[in-house]
Amino acid sequence: MSQYLWPNELVRARFLERRNRFVACVDINERKELAHVPNSGRMKELLVPGNEVFLLPTPGENRVTQYQLCLARYGQELVSLNSLLPNKLLERKLQENAFPWLFGTGCQREVTYKNSRFDFFVSTEGVGGCYVEAKSVTLVESDTAFFPDAPTARGKKHLEHLIDARSQGYSGAVVFVVQRCDAKSFRPNEARDPEFARTLLAAVQRGITIKAYNCRVNHQGIYWQREILVQL
């Protein structure tokens, strides 16, 4: 099972406010502290004043903050907030050749195509290979995961370049990793970003593979769980 364990014991806190995209103010036992927000998404349903959050201690002399926002509570669920973790989890799955829809002989990280940088390039037998992009998902409503939670020009460009690469003989895949376990299906968030939703549909029509998986999250770590239905 692909997993990522928290390197330090988590600290319980209450979310107070988001100072900017990457800094939040939290309350730890009635003491205000700043915490790094490892996700540029809005996450308005999670970062609610008074909501229970869990922090990962990140001590260091030159750090502005001594904590990183790690988890947020949503009802009975814990949601992982770090947008880089899906990349780490997916890399391990690729190294294990765990996907029946993708057979490769090697996996490279951070590969550029035109002016887009994709998370992975998987070499395949014969001509070409497959560009693979991981997307972090935290928004779930009524058992359906949605991406993005805010307009993403970068995400749209990734899709456009995957379509272009497809025309040049390469394969492409986008893997949406839902950092919580309550999602049973995935859908592009047309209400928040209709351009991304339209481009995702165009990518599927051009042969780009779209997959979505959810994760189990607890105070010890995040664990790759199962594939969920993609609805376009």
CATH of domain 85-230: 3.40.1350.60
Average of pLDDT values for 185-207?
Answer: 97
pTM comes to 0.95
Distance CA 185, CA 183 (A): 6
The residue type found at 218 is N
Structural contact between residues 53 and 69, judged by C-beta atoms closer than 8 angstroms: yes
* Token code pair at residue 56: 């990962």
What pLDDT score was predicted for residue 102? 87
Average of pLDDT values for 202-206?
Answer: 97
Q: Which residues pair with 54 in a beta bridge?
A: 12, 71
Structural contact between residues 170 and 131, judged by C-beta atoms closer than 8 angstroms: yes
For the chain, the residue count is 232
Residues of the chain with CATH 2.40.50.580: 3-80
Residue 64 above 90 pLDDT?
Answer: no
Q: What is the pLDDT of residues 102-141, one digit of tens each?
A: 877 788 999 999 999 999 999 877 668 999 999 999 999 9
Residues of the chain with CATH 3.40.1350.60: 85-230
Confidence of residue 52 (pLDDT cuts 50, 70, 90): very high
Residue 174 above 80 pLDDT?
Answer: yes
Distance CA 27, CA 25 (A): 7
How high does pLDDT run on average in the chain? 94
Confidence of residue 59 (pLDDT cuts 50, 70, 90): confident
Q: Which architecture characterizes domain 3-80 according to CATH?
A: Beta Barrel (2.40)
What pLDDT score was predicted for residue 127? 65
E strands along the chain, which residues? 3-5, 11-20, 23-28, 31-36, 52-57, 67-74, 77-80, 106-113, 116-123, 129-137, 139-141, 144-147, 171-178, 185-188, 209-217, 221-230
Measured N-to-C along each axis, helices 153-167 and 194-205 cross at an angle, to the nearest 10 degrees, of 20
What pLDDT score was predicted for residue 88? 96
Q: What is the pLDDT of residues 72-101, one digit of tens each?
A: 999 999 999 999 999 999 999 998 888 989
Structural contact between residues 143 and 177, judged by C-beta atoms closer than 8 angstroms: no
